[in-house]
Amino acid sequence: MAAEPEAPTQTILPQAVGEDQHAASKQTVDPWNVAGAVDEHGKVQAIDYNKLIEEFGTKPIDDALLERFEKVVGVKPHHLLRRGVFFSHRDFEAILDRYERKEPFYLYTGRGPSSDSMHIGHVIPFTFTKWLSDVFDAPLVIMLTDDEKFLFSEKRTVEEVKAYARSNAKDILAIGFNPERTFMFSDYDYIGGSIYANITRIAKRITVNAASAVFGFDGSTNIGKMGFAAIQAAPSFANSFPHIFGDNDAVTTQIPCLIPCAIDQDPYFRLTRDVAQGLHYAKPSLIHARFLDALGGPGSKMSASVESSAIFMTDTPKKIETKMKKYAFSGGRETAEEQRALGGNPDVDVSYQYLRFFLEDDEELAQIEQDYRSGKMLTGEIKMRCAKELSKFCTDFQERRAQITEETVDLFMSRRPLVWRGSEAVKTLAVRPKTDGDEKGGGDGKLTKNQLKKLEKLRQIEAKKAAKAKEKEASKSASTGADGVEDASSAPDGPKTEEAPAASS
């Protein structure tokens, strides 16, 4: 779902532009850029997730919420929940309420197909989403945003991104989704009919100023990028899928969804939740994941275009071991002697952090952390343990991937009814009456301080442009008057000597 950065991905060295090499900077997290803060010494810091919770206005997933989940659903929370990998949410309690009352809801997630191979960071949200779909017995829609990857890239062609979507679909399905309750679609193939109607409803409620403030767009941004927010929002509403939920909008618009995603996607859905209230639709709930750091260390995200930054799902055990040894950032000491005496720092060690994501055994993970901190375990040993776990994960995936055929993809992408725990409840779902408050729109999708600053800056720029244009026009009028030429405003009515440009065909 996340798009490629608008700016070049290659780092421009500070000395090339005459800046201080150690200039400090704040962390950046948005749908196109993820970077940790840089301190005064030029060192990149890990992403501060508590700061994101505060800035985005989300809620932390605390022990009380996890306890309620276990009580309501009857299963132990996934290790990605227990360990805080999924750490933040919007209205997750509302989904648990509906599950408890046996009222319908669904899951929505997606992937922006930017290459023909996925890395382990891409797989995390899908692995967790599959688990949620299984334990909730809830329907799932998976969106492949091939159109987004075309709109946000200067080089990719429509044909190229459509091929990536097909390849990525096989990767995603290899995770093991249930075809009875899973519908996958690519935007280029599916958009039209009910979902397009929703896209236009949403687009009509998002102004250029709002999109610019939330996403940082400017005058050079193509209109396709600006409009994509409405496209990504539309699957948040059940009436976009009449073949799953039926064609009674008065009922289906009241069925909410739960969106598991990385925290950088939250701006899209903060805007979606705001629009939902104005449309009298059920607001989507969200559950946010941390980023899986690149092999190079904290404060960054894996990239499909940088081979040394990631473990890819196609990597062999030997290649994984080589990458871990050569590229994985270590929290260990300079020498084995220092490590044994002082211990290592698992908080910044990439091997340990990957084990937090992929090693399911809580007791073994706790023992590894203790041994590494105490110096009992050396850097080479923790790297090898991580490489073993990742090799097993990728090998199992590759075996399943080999079984996915074009026919498998066609099945999941076919428009068909789905079967799940609450499917019968859709028929008897009460219609939520409209209230006076609904007509006012609004919601909790408030702009952050940074977005308000951006919006104010845009307003100031537009004001300056208008003032400059007015000043230029006044100067031109004064000059014309001095030359004795009749002012246009005093000229008699008649045919214009200059026509407006014709619309391009």
3-state secondary structure 257-309: EEEEEEHHHHHHHHHHHHHHHHHCCCCCEEEEECCCCECCECCCCCCCCCHHH
| Structural domain that includes position 228 | 48-296
* Residue entry with tokens 């060690």: 349
Closest by CA to 132, choosing from 264, 268, 259, 266, is 259
According to DSSP, the residues that pair with 262 across neighbouring strands are: 289
pLDDT of residue 502: 36
* Residue entry with tokens 């590759």: 398
Distance CA 168, CA 171 (A): 5
Q: Please say whether the dihedral angle defined by the alpha carbons of residues 388, 393, 399 and 402, taken in this order, is positive or negative.
A: negative
Q: Are strands 28-29 and 34-35 parallel, antiparallel or unpaired?
A: antiparallel
pLDDT in tens, 417-446: 999 886 766 766 655 554 444 434 444 445
Percent of the chain with pLDDT over 70: 80
Q: Please say whether the dihedral angle defined by the alpha carbons of residues 436, 439, 440 and 442, taken in this order, is positive or negative.
A: positive
Residue 67 covered by a domain:
yes
Read off the amino acid at residue 295: L
Other Cβ atoms less than 10 A from the Cβ of 216: the count is 18
Residue 238 covered by a domain:
yes
Q: Which residue has the higher pLDDT, 493 or 88?
A: 88
Minimum mean pLDDT range among 135-139, 144-148, 207-211: 207-211
- Asked if 411 contacts 180 with a C-beta cutoff of 8 angstroms, the reply is no
pLDDT of residue 450: 61
According to DSSP, the residues that pair with 107 across neighbouring strands are: 140, 258
Residue 242 covered by a domain:
yes
Residue 39 covered by a domain:
no
Decide: pTM greater than 0.85.
no
Distance CA 373, CA 295 (A): 20
Residue 427 covered by a domain:
no
pLDDT in tens, 156-184: 999 999 999 999 999 999 999 999 999 99
CATH number of the domain that 69 lies in? 3.40.50.620
Contacts of 358 (CB under 8 A, 6+ apart): 120, 389, 390, 393
Residue 470 covered by a domain:
no
> Number of structural domains, the chain?
1
Other Cβ atoms less than 10 A from the Cβ of 72: the count is 14
DSSP H helical segments within 343-401, as ranges?
Answer: 350-358, 362-374, 379-401
pLDDT of residue 38: 83
Residue 495 covered by a domain:
no
Residue 478 covered by a domain:
no
3-state secondary structure of 224: helix
3-state secondary structure of 247: coil
